[in-house]
């Protein structure tokens, strides 16, 4: 397949549109010869480039981003920095070591982001107070007891909540049971990646609007771009589900398109109706349930639609149609705020594997890759990026061991079977969601 610049879609819908204008770095033009190249300036690529710069202070690292920083998946999620993963199904004794391994990776990413946000004074609305896992309908409520057993078995700090406590905290009577997990952070995702990009070490050279259209193996590797070429001794792919565009993981990773909406800024009385927390995040105990945020800038953000759209963002017409689904979910939770309009909508693509695993390691001679975070990309992608820099540099660490221990990815059939399988995957995600959507 021959790629062009148009294969790296973007639009002006998302968290970045809530931020001031930013001066972007220049696209790459001409020929460039470096020791290291990193493709993708999301959380994984930024963490990897930063760590490579620390490990190789006398070498130049080039970081290539197809879009503007903040317009990719790292700036289009709901802003949850997960420390404790939610594994569907009942507690399995023989999976305890795997639960702990995944949560160690999550925590490593959270710790790294906390330090970078503090050190660089990144204004990304960081709030580290965990978040709420909630249930409204029968199926999700049945999962709450499983989740509580898991939290207790792993000795994870949490607070079980009944309907009255949830209403007091969140300002909605919809949820019947839930739990507040104390670990985890909320943030403005586009502000985070912009801030990380603007505080890279001096030996990292970032080029935005610089899509890599092809990779030629050799020593050195040759990367072709619309207006230039990069020759690099070693290459890191931090492109998540878009690795398939460059010929990697095409049979192991697919993109599912999610969408949501933001309200306008809430007034004082409207904000006061939303419980005692002032700012909060909600994750559904049902895998297809809505994700909600009450943000630091006084907006409600709700994401409750997912579909297979060929790993592409939604069109203007599709996004406008999905807002009816967002609106129904919003008014079901906050009928007293039915008069509050939506001001923005957005879509984003989540990289998922058939068996829920992640991808980390070497993909060829001097080519390394990390991706496939299945909805926990902010923390896990950050940890994978740092660990991959160490691994590609010949290092060893417990974090590298944890990343390498990811289960092999299950094979995904080609089209048209891929489309059918992806459609069935999305439908199963919403089976029994009921009031939790």
Q: What CATH number should be reported for the domain holding residue 149?
A: 3.30.9.10
In terms of domains, do 290 and 165 share one?
Answer: yes
Count of domains forming the chain: 2
Residue 420 forms part of a structural domain:
no
d(Cα 13, Cα 346) in Å, to the nearest integer? 5
In terms of domains, do 149 and 200 share one?
Answer: no
Residue 62 forms part of a structural domain:
yes
Task: Look up tokens 């905290």; give the residue.
Answer: 169
In terms of domains, do 329 and 430 share one?
Answer: yes
Whose CA is closest to 115, among 425, 382, 294, 436?
382
In terms of domains, do 278 and 339 share one?
Answer: yes
In terms of domains, do 261 and 209 share one?
Answer: no
Cβ-contact 87, 147 below 8 angstroms: no
In terms of domains, do 291 and 324 share one?
Answer: yes
In terms of domains, do 141 and 166 share one?
Answer: yes
Cβ-contact 37, 371 below 8 angstroms: no
Domain encompassing residue 366: 5-75+190-253+355-406
Scored b (16 or more CB within 10 A) or e, 101-121 reads bbbbbbbbbbebbeebbeeee
What's residue 3's pLDDT? 82
Residue 108 forms part of a structural domain:
no
**pLDDT block averages, 10 residues each, the chain of length 437:** 79 89 96 98 98 98 97 94 91 94 97 98 97 97 95 97 97 98 98 98 98 96 98 97 91 91 97 92 96 97 94 94 97 98 94 90 95 90 98 98 93 81 80 95
d(Cα 205, Cα 52) in Å, to the nearest integer? 12
Q: Does this model's pTM top 0.85?
A: yes
Peptide bond into 232 cis (omega under 30): no
What's residue 1's pLDDT? 55
Alpha-helix runs per DSSP H in 154-206: 163-170, 189-198
Chain centroid, CA 293 distance in Å: 15
d(Cα 249, Cα 136) in Å, to the nearest integer? 37
d(Cα 237, Cα 361) in Å, to the nearest integer? 10
In terms of domains, do 238 and 387 share one?
Answer: yes
């Amino acid at each position: 397949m021959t790629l062009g610049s148009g294969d790296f879609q973007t639009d002006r819908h998302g968290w970045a549109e809530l931020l001031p204008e930013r001066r972007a770095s220049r696209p790459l033009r001409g020929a460039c010869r470096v020791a290291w190249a990193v493709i993708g300036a999301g959380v994984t690529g930024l963490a990897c480039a930063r760590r490579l710069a620390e490990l190789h202070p006398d070498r130049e690292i080039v970081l290539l981003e197809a879009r503007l920083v903040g317009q990719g998946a790292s700036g289009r999620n709901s802003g949850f920095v997960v420390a404790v993963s939610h594994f569907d199904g009942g507690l399995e004794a023989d999976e305890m070591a795997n639960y702990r391994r995944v949560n160690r990776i999550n925590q490593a990413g959270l710790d790294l982001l906390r330090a970078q946000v503090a050190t660089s004074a990144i204004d990304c609305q960081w709030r580290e107070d965990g978040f709420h896992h909630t249930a409204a309908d029968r199926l999700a409520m049945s999962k709450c007891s499983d989740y509580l057993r898991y939290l207790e078995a792993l000795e994870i700090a949490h607070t079980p909540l009944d309907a009255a406590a949830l209403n007091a905290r969140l300002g909605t009577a919809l949820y019947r049971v839930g739990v507040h997990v104390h670990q985890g952070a909320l943030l403005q995702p586009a502000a985070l990646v912009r801030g990380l990009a603007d505080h890279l070490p001096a030996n990292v050279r970032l080029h935005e609007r610089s899509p890599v259209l092809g990779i030629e193996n050799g020593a050195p590797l040759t990367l072709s771009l619309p207006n230039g070429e990069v020759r690099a001794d070693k290459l890191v792919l931090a492109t998540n589900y878009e690795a398939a565009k460059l010929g990697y993981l095409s049979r192991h990773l697919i993109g599912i398109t999610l969408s949501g909406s933001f309200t306008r800024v809430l007034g004082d009385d409207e904000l006061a109706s939303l419980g005692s927390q002032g700012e909060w995040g909600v994750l559904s105990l049902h895998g297809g349930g809505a994700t909600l945020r009450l943000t630091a800038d006084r907006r409600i953000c709700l994401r409750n639609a997912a579909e297979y759209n060929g790993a592409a963002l939604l069109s203007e017409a599709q996004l406008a149609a999905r807002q009816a689904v967002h609106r129904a979910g919003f008014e079901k939770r906050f009928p007293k705020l039915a008069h509050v309009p939506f001001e923005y909508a957005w879509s984003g693509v989540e990289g998922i594997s058939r068996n829920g695993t992640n991808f980390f390691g070497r993909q060829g001679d001097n080519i390394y890759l990390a991706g496939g975070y299945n909805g926990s990309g902010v923390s896990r992608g950050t940890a994978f990026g740092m660990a991959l820099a160490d691994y590609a540099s010949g290092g060893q660490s417990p974090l590298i061991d944890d990343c390498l221990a990811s289960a092999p990815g299950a094979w995904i059939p080609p089209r048209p079977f891929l489309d059918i399988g992806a459609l069935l995957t999305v439908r199963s995600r919403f089976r029994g969601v009921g009031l939790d959507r």
